[in-house]
Chains A and B, each alone.
Chain A
Amino acid sequence: MSLEYTSAEMMTVTAARALENGTTCFVGIGLPSEAANLARLTHAPDVVLIYESGTLQTKPDVLPLSIGDGELCETALTTVSVPEMFRYWLQGGKIDVGFLGTAQIDRYCNLNTTLIGDYTAPKVRLPGGGGAPEIATNAGEVFITLKHSRRTFVDGVDFVTTLGFGRDGKGRDGVPNIGKGPTRVITDLCVMKPDPETRELVVVSLHPGVTAEQVQEATGWEIRFAEALETTAEPSEKELEVLRELKARTERHHSGE
């Protein structure tokens, strides 16, 4: 039991395990895409991966650099237009899980990918919403994965690009035709889930070797811990092997022309 792995690998493997075989998953680019494809290549061969570029049920051999890489189209069951993707497949209720990354997240899982600072005079301008605002409300539920730090886990996001549970945790209450929202957040330190009552994030599982103090140190608010705090299962040899091969293939692919 002394496999060597990095905290980034721990995060990806844990995020991948969250995805059950057979679910339909609307995949964000970056960490979510890495995790979703690891799931597909390990325990969830029949997971249906959908990217907003219109590629339906795609099985890329290398991780896409962009959301619309040719690899996604070539390995997809079919490719539809972007309006069809958002209207029929996402808004139409065909997606079980939206898998998202973010630049900032707060205790109620609100996501900010728009900017740091004030809107009219931003300190840092970020890319913006993209597909996330509607993925987060139209998918059945949402998984979020990102690295854990005080820069990302903030006490109140600068801008709510994408709804978690709102500034007060009640943002979804009484709204018709809306998904469950975030059900888990996976970082390189731990796994968190929203409290079923208050919707505030609670740490439910610490990755092996990580302490509660470390998580608190990397979080911009006083984070809560579950009473029955678990230890996340380590990655298996197989998962690490598949992940490393996938990343090596991807690296070779994107460093060429």
Chain B
Amino acid sequence: MAEVLSLHDAVARYVDDGATVAMEGFTHLIPFAAGHEIIRQGKRDLTLVRMTPDLIYDQLIGAGCVKKLIFSWGGNPGVGSLHRLRDAVEKGYPHKVEILEHSHAAMACAYEAGAAGLPLAVLRGYIGSDLPKVNDQIKFIDCPFSGERLAAVPSIRPDVGVVHAQKADRKGNVLVEGIIGVQKEAVLAARHSIVTVEEIVDDLEATPNACVIPGWAIDAIAVAEKGAYPSYAHGYYPRHNRFYKEWDTIARDRDSFNAWLEENVYNAGGAS
């Protein structure tokens, strides 16, 4: 049963140094507040999983929290590169980050397989791509029924799944609306899960087929108002596209990144 904790306590309890953490949200509902709390608590040697690393992983990588990154598209959407990710991969700053890259289809299938408790995901993928040459976690198997050669990747089963959602009710049931990405899969595939929400309400007012994650399938709920900013929360606030563009300048330079981090993360308090 989900326990309502402060964001500080939720991160302190469930995110250990060296853990594999999946923080999801496909452009939408990216758990920035939780990511900043992980940075503030100085977590180290994390293996981060995420389809689209986005600014949040750029920040975690630049802050030195990350040992390994598993991803399928690592850019600043519509803007360009993730400069902290590139600096780590190309120049080893602040230290070398190991990368393991997939395609979106494979990661989406791997999350689904993780949620389904399977050891692997099977897909018609990676045909003719060089990715299997550089990622030993991509294999091919023959379908036992048709003989068709199909790709197989291990399921994603992180230690901690972290997502942001619009709201939870008082029993910790969570409603996710809009672009739902792999939010539900990331929670269900993980050993422990933290869901940050914009607010806690009496009634979710969910329609019958809405994406609702039951409270008993979640470990911790933490209220984080504007917790997905500068990404967006459908029905609450829009994506701050201008900041995404400005990030290109902030993150390009190590000093300006570190100054930004100091001012906006380390000195920005956070719920204790």
Contact = CB atoms under 8 A, between A and B. Distances in A.
Interface of A: 29-30, 52-55, 64-70, 72-73, 79, 81-83, 85-87, 90-91, 110, 114, 119, 122-134, 137-138, 159-163, 166, 171-172, 175-178, 253-257
A136 to B, nearest CB: 8
Nearest to A138: B124
Nearest to B102: A129
A132 B241 contact: no
A123 B77 CA distance: 21
Contacts of B101: 114, 128-129
B207 to A, nearest CB: 13
A70 B26 CA distance: 11
Interface in B118-151: 123-131, 134, 148
Contact of B124 (A54, A134, A254): A134
B194 interface: no
Q: How large is the interface on B (under 10, 10 to 19, 20 to 34, 35 or more residues)?
A: 35 or more
A52 B89 CA distance: 26
A172 B129 CA distance: 12
Contact of A82 (B51, B178, B239): B51
Contacts of A85: 108
Contact of A129 (B81, B129, B242): B129
A175 B124 CA distance: 11
A75 to B, nearest CB: 12
26 contacts: A52-B104, A53-B181, A54-B181, A65-B241, A66-B27, A66-B239, A68-B77, A68-B179, A70-B232, A73-B234, A79-B178, A81-B182, A81-B185, A83-B111, A86-B109, A91-B125, A114-B130, A123-B90, A130-B52, A133-B105, A133-B131, A134-B103, A137-B127, A159-B130, A177-B124, A177-B148
Given A67-B77, A125-B81, A53 B240 contact: no
Contact of B179 (A55, A132, A138): A55
B157 interface: no
